[in-house]
Amino acid sequence: MYPITSIFGEIDKVHTVAHNGIDLAMTNGTLILSFTSGVVERISDEGDRGLGKAVWIRLADGYHVVFGHLSDVLVRVGDHVGIRSVIGQSGNTGYSTRPHLHIGILSPNGHWIDPSRYVAIDQMQNPSVIYGMGNWSDHLVSGWFNQLGDSIGRGLQHVAISLFHFLDGNMPEIAVTALVIGGFLKMIGSRTWAPRMFVVGGVGIAWVILL
């Protein structure tokens, strides 16, 4: 369990004004998974002030969820995230005294609300809930990275996300190139590689249309 170290509305020596979210204690570099679905609307970095590195997700009902004090952000503005999507890694950035995760929820009218009114707190506190649900691929991939928990696991995560972003940004060119090469190979009589290049081109076109 990730213990709650600061509740909503709390005022103490760290929070001189009412705390606008909840804080969960966790070690630096813990993978943060979304507990809801939405679109990444903003990624902010306030340095050693405020929330430090933070991800802002817009939900379908107009609410926003913010994950703050991250050490690393693993999404981009415009990304669609779902339940158990990797958002980033916990950290100690911003105005923070120790590694933890800040979770805030902003209502459509611009007011911070108590996260416990919007989502079950134990869903955010309990790693077994976050990692132990979903289909087999979600469970397998999340389980691998959760169990590795070291530089190798985080490196693989970076590579996978970077590869997806590269393919997503360059797929039209990849598809066209594959089709051109396939046509050339067919002209010179290739019966093995020409069909394969057409398949690659077809997959690329489907990617562009569907994603």
Domain boundaries, the chain: 4-148, 159-210
Percent of the chain with pLDDT over 90: 21
Give dist(CA 58, CA 53) in Å, integer: 17
pLDDT at 183 over 70: yes
Give dist(CA 78, CA 58) in Å, integer: 10
CB-based contacts of 25-28 (< 8 A; 24+ apart in sequence) = 25/98, 25/99, 25/100, 26/2, 26/90, 26/99, 26/100, 26/101, 27/90, 27/99, 28/71, 28/89, 28/90, 28/91, 28/92, 28/99
Query: Do residues 7 and 19 make contact, with C-beta atoms less than 8 angstroms apart?
Result: yes
98 conformational bin, left if phi > 0, alpha if psi -120 to 50, beta if neither: beta
Give dist(CA 31, CA 150) in Å, integer: 11
Query: Do residues 134 and 127 make contact, with C-beta atoms less than 8 angstroms apart?
Result: no
Query: Do residues 115 and 22 make contact, with C-beta atoms less than 8 angstroms apart?
Result: yes
Give dist(CA 16, CA 193) in Å, integer: 67
pLDDT at 10 over 90: no
Give dist(CA 205, CA 211) in Å, integer: 10
pLDDT class of 162 with cuts at 50, 70, 90: low
State the average pLDDT over residues 28-32: 88
Q: What is the pLDDT of residue 6?
A: 80
Q: What is the pLDDT of residue 69?
A: 93
Residue range 4-148 in CATH 2.70.70.10: yes
Give dist(CA 22, CA 130) in Å, integer: 17
Q: Is 112 helix (H, G, I), strand (E, B) or coil?
A: strand
Question: Is the model's pTM score more than 0.85?
Answer: no
pLDDT class of 130 with cuts at 50, 70, 90: very low
pLDDT digits (tens, 9 = 90+) for 44-83: 998 888 889 999 999 888 889 999 999 999 999 999 998 8
pLDDT at 28 over 50: yes
pLDDT class of 122 with cuts at 50, 70, 90: low
Q: Is 102 helix (H, G, I), strand (E, B) or coil?
A: strand
pLDDT class of 134 with cuts at 50, 70, 90: very low
